[in-house]
Amino acid sequence: MGAPSALPLLLLFASCWAPGGANLSLDGYWQEQNLELGTLAPLEEAMSSTVWSSPDMLASQDSQPWTSDETVVAGGTVVLKCQVKDHEDSSLQWSNPAQQTLYFGEKRALRDNRIQLVRSTPHELSISISNVALADEGEYTCSIFTMPVRTAKSLVTVLGIPQKPIITGYKSSLREKDTTTLNCQSSGSKPAAQLTWRKGDQELHGEPTRIQEDPNGKTFTVSSSVTFQVTREDDGADIVCSVNHESLKGADRSTAQRIEVLYTPTAKIRPDPPHPREGQKLLLHCEGRGNPAPQQYLWEKEGSVPPLKMTQESALIFPFLNKSDSGTYGCTATSNMGSYKAYYTLNVNGTYLTHEAKGSDDAPDADTAIINAEGGQSGGDDKKEYFI
C-alpha cells in the first residue's frame, strides 16, 4: 500500500486561508468560520472550531420537538402545544410533572376530565387543562419516541388569586384630630401580592407590605397598616385598601371602610328674602353644620335682654321690618360637641328716591326708589342697597 494521502490535511489548511474561513467536514459539508483572509490558524484550533455536520445530525434537529412556557391563573385553562418538524413516523406524547402520560398522540392515557385533546397531527400535539389548581404547577414534558427519544419541557406557572382584603382596627367613631390606625390583610396570592391605601382619591402612605407563607406552602398572606390623623373633612370618607396582583389583570379588588368623625358645629346666618324691604316679613336663618348636627339654636340681639323668642326652628322672624329692627344679631348653635356663634348686622334706614340718594349719574333709573339696608356676617361693614 502506498503512503496515506495528504489531501484532506491540505484541504483543511486551505480552508483556513479561504475567504470567510470555510471548513470541510468529514462527509464533505462546508461550514463557515470567521477567520480573516490571509491568516493561518493552528491545526489544533482549526480542528476544535470546525462544526461537524452529517445528514443524520441535520435530520435529528428536525426531529427535536419544541414547546413554550405557560402562565395561568388558578381556576383558568392552559393549553400545552408541542410541535415537531420531522416526526420520523413516531407519535408525540405529553406527560405531567409526575411523569404520568396524559396523551399519546390522540389517545388519552390519564383519566382526568379536565385534560382534553385540542389537536393531534403527525407534527403537533396540543392539549388543554381546565380548572387549573396550584398542584398542577410544574414542568410538563413533550416526548417523541425516535432513536434516541427526544424531549421538550414546558414550565407551567399557576398564579394564586388574592382574596378580597379585610380591614380591621376601626372604632365606631372618631373625634376631630384623633389619630387612628387601620390594618388590611389578604390571603391566597402567588406570588405575594402588594397592598395600597387611599382616602377617596388621595393616596395614603401605609407601612410596607408584610408577607407570610400560607400553611399550604404555595400561597402567601400579605398585610399592611396605615396611621393618619382625621379632620372634619374626613367625616363620611372611605378609607380603601386595594390588592395589586398580576392574576387580577388590572381588575379592582379592594375593600372600603367608611369613617365617622365627630366635630364641633359651625353656623352662618342667611336672610330670607335676600333683599328685604321695609314693611316686609324677614327671616334670618341660622344654618348650622356639625357631627352631630346642632340640636339647639339661641338668638340674641346685642343690647337686648332676654334672648329673642320670635323664632321658627333655627330662624329668627321679623313679621314687619322697620327701623327699630336695626342692630347686630347673634345665633348660637349647640351640639354635644360644643357651640358656635354667628353674627349678622341689619340696618334699616327707610325709603327715598334714588336721584336724591345716589348722588351720581351712573346709578340705575333716576326715579327708582330704594331701601337702604346694611347686613353682614360677623359684624361686617358691607353695605347693600336693595332696589324696588
What domains, with CATH codes, occur in the chain?
A: 7-53 (no CATH), 62-159 (2.60.40.10), 166-259 (2.60.40.10), 265-387 (2.60.40.10)
CA-closest candidate to residue 347, choices 379, 316, 299, 369: 379
At residue 316, the pLDDT reads 92
What cell was used for 238? 372611605
Q: Quick one: pLDDT band at residue 149, thresholds 50, 70, 90?
A: very high
Beta bridge partners of 20: none
At residue 60, the pLDDT reads 62
Work out the widest C-alpha separation in the chain, in whole angstroms: 147
At residue 380, the pLDDT reads 40
Cα gap 108→104, rounded to integer Å: 7
DSSP string, 149-199: -EEEEEEEEEEBPPPPPEEE---S-EETT-EEEEEEEEEEEBS--EEEEEE
Cα gap 183→257, rounded to integer Å: 11
- DSSP letter (8 states) at residue 293: P
Q: Quick one: pLDDT band at residue 147, thresholds 50, 70, 90?
A: confident
Q: Residue 361 pLDDT > 70, yes or no?
A: no
The overall average pLDDT reported for the chain is 79
Q: Which amino acid is at 13?
A: F
Q: Residue 27 pLDDT > 80, yes or no?
A: no
Buried b (16+ CB within 10 A) or exposed e, 100-112: eebbbeeeeeeee
The helix/strand/coil state of 12 is helix
- pTM of the predicted structure, to 2 decimals: 0.66
Buried b (16+ CB within 10 A) or exposed e, 243-277: bbbebbeeeebbbebebebbbbbebbbebeeeebb
At residue 348, the pLDDT reads 79
Say if residues 118 and 83 touch (Cβ distance below 8 Å).
no
Mean pLDDT value across residues 129-143: 97
